[in-house]
Amino acid sequence: MVYPPPPTKGGISINTEDYACLGEDQFLNDVIIDFYLKYLLQTMLSEEDQKRTHVFSSFFYKRLTTRTTPQVGLGAKNIEDPKLSPAEKRHARVKGWTKSVDLFAKDFIIIPINENSHWFLGIICFPGLLGPVRMSDNTPVETVDKPNASGAAPATIGATTITMVQSTTITLEPDDEDRDEAEGDDEDLEPNSSEDEGPADSAEGELLDEATHKAVKPPKPPQEPIKQPCILIFDSLAGASRSRVCATLRDYLRVEYKLRHKKSDRTFSKDILKGAVPKVPQQTNFTDCGLYVLQYVESFFQKPITDYRMPIKMLRDWFTADIVSRKRYEIQQLLHKLMEEQNIDVMRLNLPFLGLKEDGQHSMEYDENEEEDEEGLEDEEEEDVDLGLEEEEQEEEEDLGLDRERALNIEERMQMEMEEEDEGDYDSEELNDNVSRTSELFCENSPLKRKQTVSLKEVHNQRAMNSSMSPPRDCKKMRCDD
């Protein structure tokens, strides 16, 4: 699928592998990031916001900061002129990316960034302003700089806390060997917290409460909201230093402005174009960083920042984790909807099964309700089995009772027949028939055989004792083993 579809230019092609990245515990790739940001810009933003916003591709920052391999041979063209400064070399790699757009006429420049398999977001705000102005009437104002807090804040993923340690050496990952970024210092970044914000934990709150009792400060007068040129970094895994990113983007804007406005001069220092890393909602696992980048952009326009005075406040609870957990399912359904609009039969495509749920819950997660239902069904099945066994035992006992009664009746008849035999009226064939029927009742497989001790031998002995006549000629058939 291509979005937006032809004849619109600049469409993004999405294939099955890109679709599979929406699966649980998968990292979003660059295609899904670029697709959703383009969709946001074209469908969710107002016409006014569209005009004042520019979204760079997810490859922009990587291309900006990756050294090109020198070409060798006839006709080789090397972009990196040795006479250029490091900032100019970086800009030359992406010079053609803005040939049809004036970045300084925009209010917001959105840059998704991926470093070491981690997505975070950079937004350049009001690059055309020369300094801070009132939000209401664009009147220039003066701001008082606050002392910066030293030390890196710890990063937290669920119950795991990662403390960043300052080091005098820089260790490059294999992918970082060709990276080319400007030098940056954490002191160049604006503080990301203030006295007006609540403490992050109860221990800090107790210390602040104790200090408050000792020295109560008068309330500060309300300040009028402002807007000012700045570079904001939104990171769902806070703790890593982003000063080099801010310095690199600041250098890029300086060279871009110089090439576009050759007759004017402008300063892009850290005091004019401030850099900051606001406190924002944090991810609770190691795979949802891309989802948070998309939600940062969405919330940036749905719940815009009302005051760009440093530090940027009130973004810690910008959105809930539930909103992010449903993002994969929402993007999947969006892709299905767009495919149907392009007359693509989703059912005929060999799309991988993602197992996503509308509520954002893991499809393989433990479900207590389902477990209780299964236990209830098992209990009912056990009760049915027990009831069935009881009925079978009752029927078996009834059958045994009937067999016992039949055996006793036959025994009584045999006794009567033996008495008749003594009187000379004896039917040997009938007696043999009765013996055969009695043998069947007392066969090895008969339940009555297992529960009764009556034997044919006793019957035969009883007959012999009561009879003074010689045994009938068929009596030899009444052996005990019969």
Report whether pLDDT(341) > 70. Answer: yes
**Beta carbons of 83 and 90 less than 8 angstroms apart:** no
Residue with tokens 């679709």: 19
Report whether pLDDT(171) > 70. Answer: no
At 444-474, the pLDDT tens digits run 444 444 444 444 455 445 555 554 444 444 4
Helix (H) or strand (E) holding 231: strand 230-234
Per-residue confidence (pLDDT) for residue 316, from 0 to 100: 94
Bin 151: left if φ > 0, else alpha if -120 < ψ < 50, else beta.
Answer: left
- Averaged pLDDT for residues 360-381: 54
243 or 205, which is more confident?
243
Q: Which domains does the chain have, with CATH numbers?
A: 45-70+78-198+216-325 (3.30.310.130), 369-477 (no CATH)
Which residues lie across from 55 on neighbouring strands? Answer: 110
Residue with tokens 């007392």: 442
Per-residue confidence (pLDDT) for residue 82, from 0 to 100: 81
Two structure tokens written together for 376: 């209830």
Query: Active-site residue among 188, 251, 289, 403?
Result: 289
Q: How many C-beta atoms lie closer than 10 Å to residue 285's C-beta?
A: 9
Contacts of 326 (CB under 8 A, 6+ apart): 358, 359, 360
Report whether pLDDT(385) > 80. Answer: no
246 or 440, which is more confident?
246
Assess whether 403 carries a catalytic annotation.
no
Two structure tokens written together for 210: 């104790």
Assess whether 289 carries a catalytic annotation.
yes
Judged by average pLDDT, the poorest of 66-80, 236-250, 456-470 is 456-470
At 106-127, the pLDDT tens digits run 999 999 999 999 999 999 999 9
Type of residue found at 366: Y
Task: Categorize the per-residue pLDDT at 168 as very low, low, confident or very high, splitting at 50, 70 and 90.
Answer: very low
Pairing mode of beta strands 274-276, 189-190: parallel
80 or 255, which is more confident?
255
**Beta carbons of 143 and 161 less than 8 angstroms apart:** no
Q: How far apart are CA 443 and CA 460, in angstroms?
A: 17
Q: How far apart are CA 468 and CA 458, in angstroms?
A: 17
Task: Categorize the per-residue pLDDT at 368 as very low, low, confident or very high, splitting at 50, 70 and 90.
Answer: very low
Query: Active-site residue among 49, 118, 307, 460?
Result: 118
**Can the peptide bond before residue 281 be classed as cis, meaning omega within 30 degrees of 0?**
no
Three-state SS string over 417-471 comes to: HHHHHHCCCCCHHHHHHHHHHHHHHCCCCCHHHHHCCCCHHHHHHHHHHHCCCCC
* Mean model confidence pLDDT for the chain: 76
Per-residue confidence (pLDDT) for residue 74, from 0 to 100: 56
Per-residue confidence (pLDDT) for residue 247, from 0 to 100: 96
Per-residue confidence (pLDDT) for residue 95, from 0 to 100: 94
Two structure tokens written together for 117: 């398999």
Burial string for 135-153 (b: 16+ CB within 10 Å, else e) reads beeeeeeeeeeeeebeeeb
Q: Which 3 state secondary structure label does DSSP give 124?
A: strand
Which residues lie across from 12 on neighbouring strands? Answer: 3
405 or 163, which is more confident?
405
Q: How far apart are CA 62 and CA 60, in angstroms?
A: 5
- What is the 8-class DSSP label of residue 11? P
**Crossing angle between the packed helical segments 30-39 and 289-302, to the nearest 10 degrees:** 10
Q: Which residue, 194, 160, 161, is CA-closest to 311? A: 194
Assess whether 251 carries a catalytic annotation.
no
Judged by average pLDDT, the poorest of 110-114, 341-345, 384-388, 439-443 is 439-443
